[in-house]
Structure 1
Amino acid sequence: MADLILRGGSVVDGTGAAAFDADVAVDGDRISAVGDLSGMSARREIDATGLTVSPGFIDTHAHSDGVLLRDPVHAHGLLQGVTTEFITQDGLSYALLSEQNLDSYGRYIAGLYGPPPVGLDMSTMAAFRSHYEGKGCNVAVQAPHGPVRLESVGFEDVPLEGEGLARAERMVAEAMEQGATGFSTGLSYYPNSYSDTDELVALNRVVARYGGVYVTHIRNHNDDRAPDGSGIVEAMNIGRRSGVKVHISHYRTFPSNAGDIDSIMSEVDQAKADGVDVTLECYPYAAAATVPGYFLRGECHVGGIDRLLERLGDPAWHDRLVDSLEQLFPGRNDAATFTWIGADHLKHLEGLSFADAAARMGMSVSDLTLMVMRESGLQCGFRDAMPASPAVARQVEADVIALLSRDDYMVGSDGIPFDEGIPHPRAYGTFPRIVGRLRRRTGVSLEHLVRGMTSLPASRFGLADRGVVAEGRFADLVVFDADSVIDTADFNDPRTPPAGIPYVVVNGQIAVDRGRPTGVLAGRSVP
């Protein structure tokens, strides 16, 4: 007798092969049989007639480092069918931080993750990973560039060389030996952006020795530090020089270049023709989200959060800070919206555009932005406005589906989930939006899209025995109605759960039952 049988579903097995009708049996944490299992019984049977059974979805880019520690069930991902998340993205994480730096850097990145954890050892990758065992979903990690640089040379705009570089190389090697799948960086964030190409080549030579992947939010700050001034060219050259496998984060068109896929893919395709091993990911929304400090130049960040907060309140720095915002954030300030603010006395600004918030407070948009950063202690985030023209947003979505139709693209939500404020809906709707709304609109193959969410990332990042529905594989499964599955989260009500995903199984345990989270904590630190 099996533990669980999903009966009569249309199996999309994750390989890209055509769907087929079959039953799927589960024993323990593994799939024990796939086929006509009419002669087999189980302790629990689920009628999947008329539904699709696929591998659980893999989110290759999630900013859940903080929320997973506060809310282990992680319902917002499970309800989308996500059974594995990659955290430590953009080189921003608690991983590898000493106790002192965990407090200071944890406060620095609190706009993404909330207040830093207290009393947890994060100083090695093994210690860090141990805190993500027994969550609602599986969790995979990379060695984050920010902590590596911080622990090697401090929060300073200095070259990483000599003993500093040697220490960083040792940290990356140790992280790889302790379960990291690669090395992540975000070259628009600090201290990551203080790096140059040579530093990144050196660190990725270490990653390449372990067969890992260089995962990068490409440079668009300090682009003078890339020899050619181009973030995507720099990333391709790092692959050429180090031999590392390259993965480009959230790479798609924007409203400013909607419809022009060729222009963003030409360097990638040339590098692939030259032998560089490249994959990419994207999410299906025309608006982004991050933290306002993203738009302050590197000189503002030197020394870390305490020095930055001093500068935010120093009249001698005011004009430089305003100039930085206006130069690096042109045309986006006024319509951008605060997603959350950690300071209670500023909560009334959540959900307001910067322009409306500035009018309410009687100050300029730039001064408002600086004030919110200062008084919240950087515990604040924002999102862009959607394009004014629906046709432009539709074109970006069409571009996303066209990119996902390639063989080298995966799905990373870039989700920043919070239990307060008005966050970006991508944390709550990315996967059903793709397999539901956008697939039906464009007619792209369900089998191909599922492959990019399952077996492709599992293979790329070394998640052994995951990402495929087959006997002997881990029982990470999602059951959904391909005809009706849809995201319901939007920018006004971002936490509403999707419809059409009644069952999710994580390591053989039912994590979503009839559309409701069960609270089971079957996730593991993987691989």
Structure 2
Amino acid sequence: MKNQLKIFSKFGTVIFSVSFFMQSCAEQKIIEADVLIKNGIVYDGVSLESLKSTIAIKDDKIVYIGDSEKVEIVASEIIDATGLIVSPGFIDPHTHADRDLNVAKTSHNKPFLYQGITTVVVGNDGNSFYPLSKFKSLYTSQGIGTNVVPLVGHGTVREEVMGRSDKLASPEELLKMQHLVQQEMDSGAFGISTGLFYAPGSYSNTDEVIALAKTAAQNGGIYDTHLRDESSYTVGLLASIEETIQIGREAKIPVHISHIKCLGVDVWNKSNAIVKMIENAQKEGLEITANQYPYDASATGLKAAVVPRWAESGGKDSLFIRYEDPQTKSKILTEIKNNIARRGGAEKLLIVKSNNEEFIGKNLLEISQMLNMEPHVAVINILKTGYVRIASFNMTDEDIFTFMKQDWVVTGSDGNTGHPRKYGSFPRKFHTYVTKEKIIDTAEFINRSTSKTAEIFKIEKRGRLKVGYYADIIIFDPNSFRDKADYTDAFQLSEGLIHSFINGKTTIKDGAYNNSLNGKVLEKQLPKNE
């Protein structure tokens, strides 16, 4: 009997062990994946601390994120991210990348890819390629290196209907513009952008902008704006913020202020007042956000920076025609002189792009001395050589830091030729303002370069590391992720990005671009029926 009990006991023990093993197998979920990322310092785009998570990618989606001990993952490729940061791909809310995406040889978008950017917003500053349907087809057939979120430009629509005239829109012209905005929203625009500082957008009044913003709002879009005045050119910076708030309030549309700044000596140290204005509007229930690039120099055309808008009304050669008229020449020169002073002086305006290579890398004061004429007179002679682009050193650290600390301000590049921000904004912000200056921490930087931007532009299933979300994922080395582009050579790719996945496919592997075009034009989230 004793032996039988022992046998029974042993038999029972065996049965128990098998049963436990079978139960464990049932609990151990098996996941098939294309890529497994393990051992990384994971920031999911929303959490305030890093996570120790394993991430699995299958096709274009994230199929698992969490503790690797709870699942068995069978993957074709395993990436050991020990010591590296794993993050959602960055979303750049303000670029001019469409100028590169439109051309096959530059459609890879490498200046943005190497910053960790996987999605770019295009059509900013009121300037979009028209019609959108044509360019969506081009991007699809040709292939693009990053995802694209398109906006419809107010200035583009205005020029289609009214040319570059400085008159106010008639009711009939306004209806035509509303029709074109609707057409572009139907084609997939995520919202409308304005460049109210630039011609022809500068010729519009607030009522015109509100009317067009309402059309965008009715289609679930947002309002993205380059303010009418970031300095003291016309209505002033604070009045321009008020106008933006008014547009958001009356059009009932989310508002996003592009490249928020205090530009020039007249408006330095206004950032705290602006923050208070915006937060008061947010308390009303208005959705107001902004983006910022991490540099103390802005960039724009020399004409846009210093020439009065009335002098360029009518088209390309209008300025030079008016300059030859003795009745307007003196007024043009006086206003150019005042605008140079507003920017901080001729020595603060650095030429970064010009048909005359002698001008590149010199400031306006140096060029005026070379031409043996006053800086405001030299401007006209410089502009006669063709389009000229400048970097304008006109911001203070105090204002830059104040805006950067706000939870409603996200990272943007305003990436454009000649300024290092096109090649370096996101790595520069991490290296300079997170790692060195410690103005914000790593989680704040990542969250406001990913999920917050996706939320602002209503981009579905991107900007977070979450099961079911698209696998736009980057892996970078926190010790070497930095910008290399500067004002002497603005065309150097950033370094420190190790891997990049766009829509689940490898784009950068071991720091090298693999010549793939994995981006696509994103579809906007349709408004829900009330």
CA distance in 1, matches of 2:433, 2:230: 32
Show the counterpart of 2:462.
466
CA distance in 2, matches of 1:254, 1:147: 25
Show the counterpart of 1:434.
429
Q: Structure 2: which amino acid aligns with 1:371?
A: N
Query: Aligned pair 1:300/2:305, yes or no?
Result: no
Residues paired across the two proteins, number: 481
1:225: how far off?
A: 8.8
Query: Aligned pair 1:190/2:193, yes or no?
Result: no
Show the counterpart of 2:357.
347
Q: Deviation digits for residues 434-460 of structure 1, max 9, x if unmatched?
A: 223211221633222211111111122
Q: Structure 2: which amino acid aligns with 1:132?
A: Y
Query: Aligned pair 1:239/2:248, yes or no?
Result: yes
CA distance in 2, matches of 1:260, 1:222: 10
User: Does structure 2 retain, via aligned residues, the 8 Å contact 1:336–1:384?
Assistant: yes
CA distance in 2, matches of 1:259, 1:328: 19
Show the counterpart of 2:17.
none
Show the counterpart of 2:96.
63
CA distance in 2, matches of 1:509, 1:196: 46
Show the counterpart of 1:88.
123
Show the counterpart of 1:420.
none
Q: Unaligned 5+ residue runs, structure 2? A: 1-31, 524-530
Show the counterpart of 2:24.
none
CA distance in 1, matches of 2:238, 2:489: 39
CA distance in 2, matches of 1:335, 1:261: 21
Show the counterpart of 2:383.
373
Show the counterpart of 1:25.
56
CA distance in 2, matches of 1:484, 1:228: 37
Q: Structure 2: which amino acid aligns with 1:473?
A: Y
User: Does structure 1 retain, via aligned residues, the 8 Å contact 2:231–2:263?
Assistant: no
CA distance in 2, matches of 1:229, 1:285: 21
Show the counterpart of 1:273.
283
User: Does structure 2 retain, via aligned residues, the 8 Å contact 1:187–1:221?
Assistant: no
TM-score (structure 2 length as normaliser): 0.85
1:41: how far off?
A: 3.2
Structure 1 residue aligned with 2:294, among 284, 308, 317? 284
Q: Indicate the structure (1 or 2) with the bigger Cα radius of gyration.
A: 2
Show the counterpart of 2:66.
35
Higher relative contact order (CA 8 A, sep 6+): 1
1:523: how far off?
A: 0.8
The 5-angstrom pairing of residues 310-329 of structure 1 reads 310-311=321-322, 317-329=328-340
Q: Greater shift after overlay, 312-321 or 347-356?
A: 312-321
Q: CA RMSD in A?
A: 2.4
1:470: how far off?
A: 1.2
CA distance in 2, matches of 1:315, 1:74: 47
CA distance in 1, matches of 2:45, 2:384: 47
1:413: how far off?
A: 0.8
The 5-angstrom pairing of residues 252-263 of structure 1 reads 252-254=261-263, 256=265, 261-263=271-273
Query: Aligned pair 1:9/2:22, yes or no?
Result: no
Query: Aligned pair 1:493/2:489, yes or no?
Result: yes
1:199: how far off?
A: 0.7
Identity of aligned residues (%): 30
1:414: how far off?
A: 1.2
Show the counterpart of 1:506.
502
1:258: how far off?
A: 5.5
Q: Deviation digits for residues 297-323 of structure 1, max 9, x if unmatched?
A: 222222221434544566665323322
What SS class does the counterpart of residue 167 from structure 2 fall into?
coil
User: Does structure 1 retain, via aligned residues, the 8 Å contact 2:401–2:439?
Assistant: no
Q: Deviation digits for residues 127-177 of structure 1, max 9, x if unmatched?
A: 133333421111111110111111122211111231100011111111112
Show the counterpart of 2:4.
none
CA distance in 1, matches of 2:233, 2:475: 48
Show the counterpart of 1:333.
346
Query: Aligned pair 1:452/2:460, yes or no?
Result: no
TM-score (structure 1 length as normaliser): 0.85
User: Does structure 2 retain, via aligned residues, the 8 Å contact 1:259–1:399?
Assistant: no
Show the counterpart of 1:203.
212
